[in-house]
Amino acid sequence: MTGQVFSLAAVMNGSANEMRLLLLMSSLGSFVIPAYLMDTREGYGIKYFRLDGKPNAIEFAYIFLAMLAFMPVMNLIGHWNESLKLPENMKSVQLWMEQSEKDSGDLIRGIIMESSILGFLFNIIVLALIPAIGEELLFRGVLQNIVGRWLHNPHVVIWIVAVIFSAIHLQFFGFVPRLLLGAFFGYLYLWSKNILLPIFGHFVNNAGATVISFYYTRQGKTYDELNAFELQSWWIYLVAFIFTLIFVLLFYRTTQKENNGERLEKN
């Protein structure tokens, strides 16, 4: 529309709103629309997005608390992932991964470091809400069901989809944390049989990063300061991990009670 030759470099030099528009179009075209078409146009009466029952407030609360509790451990795993180096004979791959990471980081840097309220609200929509809906509909709703037709072990299915989910972002120095998040969202869908719950978990993760970035920007801090890692005492990670397990277990017990209420009442 502008008559310019499209390139990533041109996008980087554009305004934050131009980059937000690019991300919005990417999310809609890559995730939301394909997932919608799969659910509404595929034959054989297949429906991908399960909405068994109505999630209650306590289930959303457990997801929120689990995501919050896991943040210190996630940061530690992310720091470890960033420090990984490939063997010398794979140096070209290492350089490609670093360049891909830099390009993604430059794009996000131009958007997420926002100090205005309006820009922050746009970021919540573009970086948190739309990706959470689109990616969960496609990966957990569609892909997890498709792979589940081939394999009968739900745990294998969840981890295969989580690997694809993490790899497709092309941010390899955050591969492991994103893999764990993808698996967690997969289990949320498996246990609850309701696509709204993994969407909520995904939104909490993305919105949390957006809120923290907004706070840092308002405090006059930089993107590098936002991503700086500070090692905590070992007991903080241990306590965080224990509380994460507690909230995940409570969520699991709640969903099983909801999904098997009649059987439990009989027992």
Q: Is 154 left (phi over 0), alpha (psi -120 to 50) or beta?
A: alpha
CB proximity list for 189: less than 8 A, separation 6 or greater: 50, 136, 140, 141, 144, 195, 197, 198
Q: What is the 3-state secondary structure (H, E, C) of 16-79?
A: HHHHHHHHHHHHHHHHHHHHHHHHHHCCCCCCCCCECCCCCHHHHHHHHHHHHHHHHHHHHHHH
Q: What angle do CA 231, 237, 238 make, to 5 degrees?
A: 145
Q: Which long-range contacts (CB under 8 A, 24 or more apart) does 223-229 make?
A: 223/109, 223/112, 223/113, 226/113, 229/75, 229/78, 229/79
Residue 138 · residue 144 · CB < 8 Å: no
pLDDT, position 94: 77
Q: Residue 92, CB half-sphere, CA atoms under 13 Å: how many?
A: 1
pLDDT, position 136: 96
Q: How far apart are CA 170 and CA 175, in angstroms?
A: 8
Q: Is residue 243 classed as helix, strand or coil in its secondary structure?
A: helix
Q: Which long-range contacts (CB under 8 A, 24 or more apart) does 149-155 make?
A: 154/190
Q: How far apart are CA 57 and CA 52, in angstroms?
A: 15
CA separation, residue 179 to residues 152, 166, 169, 173, 193 (Å)? 21, 5, 11, 11, 21
DSSP 91-151: HHHHHHHHHHHHHHHHHHHHHH---SHHHHHHHIIIIIIHHHHHHIIIIIIIIHHHHHHH-
Q: How far apart are CA 125 and CA 131, in angstroms?
A: 8
pLDDT, position 140: 95
R_g of the chain, CA atoms, integer Å: 20
Q: What is the mean pLDDT of each run of 10 residues along the chain (267 residues)?
A: 54 70 89 89 72 88 96 93 81 78 75 89 94 95 92 95 91 88 96 95 95 91 84 92 97 82 46
pLDDT, position 266: 45
